[in-house]
Every structure is written in C-alpha cells, then in structure tokens.
A and B are shown apart, each in its own frame.
Chain A
Amino acid sequence: MIATSSVLGATPAEADETEVAPQVELVLDVSGSMRAKDIDGQTRIAVAKRAFGQVVDALPETTQLGIRVLGATYPGDDKRKGCLDTQQIVPVGPVDPAVAKAAIAALKPTGYTPIGLALRAAANDLGTGEGARRIVLITDGEDTCTPPDPCTVARELAAKGTKLVVDTLGLTPDEKTRKQLVCISTATGGTYASAQSEQELTDRVQQLVDRAALPPPVTPAVVAGTESCDKAPVLSPGVYSDRERIGEHRYYRVSLQADEELRASVSVALDRPVNRDYGVLLKAVTENGRELVRGLDAASGRADVISAGLRWSSAEKSDVCVIVSNSFASATAAAAPGMPLELSIDTVKASTAPDAPGLGRGWLLLLVLVVAGLIAGVLAGWLTRWWVATWREN
C-alpha cells in the first residue's frame, strides 16, 4: 500500500479518479434457532427473508452486494462438521434481484452458528480491494462454535488494515449475543443494533446498506509511524491510518517550506473496552525534540474516538516531527494490534499576525475626535481672525 502510494505520489489527483465501488456483504444466520416464532408472531427466518427481499428490491444500482449464510445446510449433530457450515449464496457484485430473492427463499433454518468462520469467509469474499468494505452480520444467537471467538476474529480482520467494517444486528438478542455482537462491531468500528420487529429489521438493514453505498470521501493511506524522529516516515498532506498500542509513542515527520503552516489532527478509535478515563496527545517537536506546540484531549465514558489537533507555522523552512501518544488503560492485552489511529496532515500558507486596526470604535474614540475637532475649529477661527485683521490693516 505504501509502495503504491509513493508511486502515485507524483500525481495524487489520479488516485481520486480510480474510485472503487463500495462493497457490502450480508451475513445471515440460518441456524436452527431461527425457527423460533417470536417476531410479531412469525418465525425469525421468515421475517429476515422478507426484510432481505425488500432490501434487495431497493438496492442502489452501484452497490456491489453479496450474501453469505451460516448454519444453512448441515442438519447433523457432529459439531466439527456443523461448525464449517457457511456458504456464499450470492457472489459479491451487481445484484440481480430475482436471483438473489430466489436464493434467499430457498433457505431453511438448520444447523450450528459458526460466526467467526463466517466472518473470515466474508472478509475473503470481499477481497482486499481499495474501496470501502462492509459486512452486515445478522444473527439471533451467540456463536456455538467457539473457538475461534468471533470477537477475536473481528479484531484480527480489523488489524489486517483491510478497511473492513462489521455492522451487527441482533434478532431479539439475549445478553450473551448482545455482548458478542457489540464486541464485534466495536472492534471494527461498526455499529450494533437490535431488532424486535420486522419493521426495525428492514429499516436498519436498509440504513446499513445505504451507508455502505455512500463510501467515505477518502480512504486513508496506511502508514507505520516509528519510535524515533529520525526514522519517521515523511508525510505529505493527506489522510493516513495507523495503529498505536496503549502507552506507545508514534513519530511522523512533515517537511515545511518557509511561511507554511502545518495542520495536523489525529483520532484514536476506542476499539476495545477501556478504563473510564483516557486521553490523547498530539505534539509537534523539532528534530532535536524541542516542543513547538501540542494538542490534547481527554474524556471519560463511552466514546468511539478521541481526537486532537494542532497548528504550527514558521518563517523558515523546517522539518517537524509529529508525535502521537495516548493515555488509555485497558484490561485486555496491551500487546499488538494497537488501537486504530487516523492522522490527517495539511500544509497551507501561514497566516500573518494582524497589524494594529485601521478603524476605531468606542466612546473614547468619539471624545478624542470631538475634542480634536473643537481644538482644530478654534485654531482655524483664531487664524482666520488674525488673517482678516492683518489684511484690513494693509
């Protein structure tokens, strides 16, 4: 990614033109529990089928959609076999509504719930393209095939830097399912919702597919910050993504021309449960480590990201090092992968400090002007009188 970026570096405008259509894959749980008749008096699978049908009908033309199911074919009791049961019934691409609906209609609630495996497979289906990729996971129960724990799988997928977001939807979820789905969505920067009725399910799936069809205006370039200033990657203006472990410092470098202003901002995503209070610090230092300016923010409680920004300018050409550090604490392992970090760098013309104002305001100004006018008038009057007097004498 970095290599291709540097090749493209000379002509960044071209990168925008080669836009890839956003891809989304719906992953539907068709395990035995979907037979339960508890949504508006109908079975969960019947409701899910209808919701899918409506979503497929209203699909934007540009959306590349795929559908994968889990627990749909193996009816037996062998857990080993049942936990390998996941198939892609609609390949990712432009959707033919008739074909997709026929494939959905044929589904029968059957087997186990191998969520972890299905997530991995869905990530494979979506490939490793440049565009935004989303998985929408719809399930009614927790994974029955741990290990692999689906949340660990989600973390792995996110850590691969594949810009994959998993949105989860629980159908009348119990506590365990809810916790698992929340964990999966938090790890990948996705959202979690529960659906108790057909309307809620349809609306939410539709909303998620619509969101997927509207990709972010920019896909951040992957970069790896270093632990010291001299080895740090030199960044040009743009948006980057990286990962930072708890308590780690990451260095980046920016070359500034004379009279240029550096604008940097960073967001660190809370992709795991963290202790109540936390913060992020963004510092700009010289190559020797002298601090120039800092931006920081601290918060507590639930949050998706915490961010900070800074501006700095100099009259001379200089190299500035940007350091991102954090003060998170978490009960989960502090080891890799780190927390997702989004860094945005911009350089603009420096803003000059303003001169003294050209215009005035206030009662004092009026008083000064009136007194000055009065004195000027009196002087002018005296001058005129003296001039008239001397003129008469001559």
Chain B
Amino acid sequence: MSIFLAALLLAPGSAGTSYLTATPIDTTRPVQVSAVTGDYLYWSFPATAGQQPELTAKVTLPPVADRHGYQAWTIEVFDGLRRRQPCVAGEQSPIVTNDATEVALGCKLRQVRSWAEPSDQDPLPGTYYVRLSSTALPEQDLGLPLKADLTLTAEKGDTGADQGKLAAPLNPVNRPGTVMTETPTPAPSSSATPDESWASDLVPEFSSRWVWTASGGFLAAIAGLVGFSFTRRRRRA
C-alpha cells in the first residue's frame, strides 16, 4: 500500500488520449508521465501573438531486452482548429535503433501571428495541441512501459511585423452540438469573446515599431535644429 501511495505521489503529470481529453500544460513546469509504447499522448497549451512556442520531449524507452527493432517517434503540433503546424526547428521525427535507451524530440513553431487571412495556415493565438506518439514500431513491442517528459517554453518575440487582430482566439468548442430544425436565430457564439475597448484598437500594442517611430521623430527634430543652425551660420558669415 505504501509503495502504491508513493507511486501516486511521484506521478507528477498526466496526458490525455485524444484532442478532447488533452491535458493542459504551461511553461512554468515540465510534465512527466508514464505510458506504454503505442500510446498517443495529448497535451494542450495556450499561445498568444508574438510567442514562439518550443517543445522538447524526452522518452525513456522500455528495457532494451524487451524490444525487437527500430522505433520511429514523432512530436506533432496542431492549432485550435486541429490544423497541423510545421516545426521550424527541432528533431521532430527521430528514429531510434534497438540499443537506444531514450529518444529526444523537439519542435519549435513559427512565431504566432496576431492575424492571418482565413485561408492561411499561419499560427494564430489560441489553443495548441501536442501529440507525442510512435509512428512505426515492431508489433510485438506494443504495450511496454515507458516514461515521457515534456517541456514547453514560449519565447516572446517582436510583434512589430504584424498588423490586424483576430476577433476571437482559436479555441476549441467545449459543448455538444445541436442540430437545428428551423431557421436559426442570430446567435453568434464564440469560444471566447475578447473584451477590448476602442482604445486598444486605436493604439497598437508595444513593439519595435514604437521604438523606430519615436526615435525617428527625435532624430528628425535634431536634424531640424541642425538645418536651422546652417542658415544662422550662413547669415553671420
């Protein structure tokens, strides 16, 4: 019993088994879960415009003696609409030989943009899903115990290159649907309604553009003074 309790206390995290049950994670603390080979592990995390989320995972594989061949692992990231997001850096799909004891995976996303055309696949603010799984492994190696560690970091980049704002972040809908039998009443739902005042629409968020524009104005004022002094000097001469 005591061993069991200890095991419970030591279990520092969990993972979901589908998009709907994905376990939320954040940047503050890494997660470690026990699972078995063949499991599909799902996590979800929020991202805001300007962030560049990066995931690093480490899978401690089952004992070498129990395994029979190569394993291909993959870490995949999907946005709130379950659209695949490409990784721009990191070892996304490593293949390990049967003498490896662990496998390291990583995926760095593109910088999350504040707005994109509806037909674009650009990363947008909202929920992201992570799926850690093995895409190929010997059939007899299914179901063996392993440990998976996942760390999320989200470096805040500059949003200066972006304009526009998404009306509502890409969050999943968490309620069962209803089939409508008659003409629907206008009831625009939203998974999250942003409560923004007109001021935030008018004044752009802080970015490098503020620095460039302000310093430009400062330099222009100095240049104005310099220009003025040219004319003064010429008069004295």
Contact = CB atoms under 8 A, between A and B. Distances in A.
B76 to A, nearest CB: 9
Interface stretch (B46-54, B99-107, B148-156, B172-180): B172-180
Given A189-B18, A312-B118, A376 B224 contact: yes
Nearest to B207: A359
Contacts of B228: 377-378, 380-381, 384
Contact of B83 (A216, A308, A353, A360): A308
Given A236-B184, A370-B223, A380-B224, A192 B38 contact: yes
B8 A191 contact: no
Given A216-B18, A305-B18, A365-B213, A354 B81 contact: no
Contacts of B145: 193, 200, 203-204
Contacts of A377: 223-231
B216 A366 contact: yes
5 contacts: A302-B136, A349-B167, A351-B166, A361-B212, A381-B232
Contacts of A218: 20, 173-176
Contact of B176 (A221, A310, A351): A221
B140 A178 contact: yes
Interface in B197-237: 204, 207-210, 212-213, 215-217, 219-232, 235
Interface residues of B, number: 88
Given A257-B186, A263-B81, A381-B229, 11 more contacts: A175-B140, A200-B145, A211-B21, A217-B20, A261-B167, A309-B81, A344-B177, A345-B173, A346-B191, A348-B189, A359-B204
Most chain A beta-carbon neighbours within 10 Å: one of B186, B207, B220: B220
Given A189-B18, A347-B188, A359-B212, A239 B177 contact: yes
A293 B118 CA distance: 9
Contacts of A207: 34
Contact of A54 (B1, B14, B19, B212): B1
A344 B173 contact: yes
Given A191-B36, A218-B175, A381-B227, A310 B81 contact: yes
Nearest to B134: A302
A263 B79 CA distance: 12
Nearest to A379: B227
Provide the main secondary structure of the chain A interface: mixed
A238 B213 contact: no
A371 B223 CA distance: 7
A37 interface: no
Interface stretch (A7-15, A137-145, A154-162): A7-15
B176 A15 contact: yes
A235 B180 contact: yes
Contacts of B84: 297
Contacts of B82: 265-267, 307-309, 344
Contact of A301 (B136, B204, B209): B136
B177 A240 contact: yes
A362 B139 contact: no
Given A348-B191, A352-B164, A295 B83 contact: yes
A307 B180 contact: no
B231 A381 contact: yes
Contacts of B165: 351, 354
A220 B20 CA distance: 10
A243 to B, nearest CB: 16
Given A303-B133, A361-B209, A369-B219, A178 B175 contact: no
B219 A373 contact: yes
Nearest to A310: B81
Nearest to B227: A377
Query: Interface size class for chain A?
Result: 35 or more
A219 interface: yes
Contacts of B190: 346-349
Contacts of A358: 204
Nearest to A234: B180
A12 B144 CA distance: 42
Contact of B230 (A57, A263, A351, A381): A381
A385 interface: yes
A378 B39 contact: no
Interface string B8-37: 100000100111110000000000001010
Contacts of B97: none
Nearest to A346: B173
A352 B118 CA distance: 10
Most chain A beta-carbon neighbours within 10 Å: one of B38, B82, B191, B208: B82
A189 B177 CA distance: 21
Contacts of A344: 82, 172-173, 177
Given A191-B17, A366-B212, A374-B223, A351 B164 contact: yes
A356 B178 CA distance: 41
A82 B39 CA distance: 34
B195 to A, nearest CB: 12
B81 A238 contact: no
Contact of B177 (A204, A216, A303, A345): A345
Nearest to A191: B39
Nearest to A211: B17
Contacts of B17: 191, 211, 304
Nearest to B40: A304
Contacts of B72: 301
A380 B229 CA distance: 10
Contacts of B81: 263-265, 295, 309-311
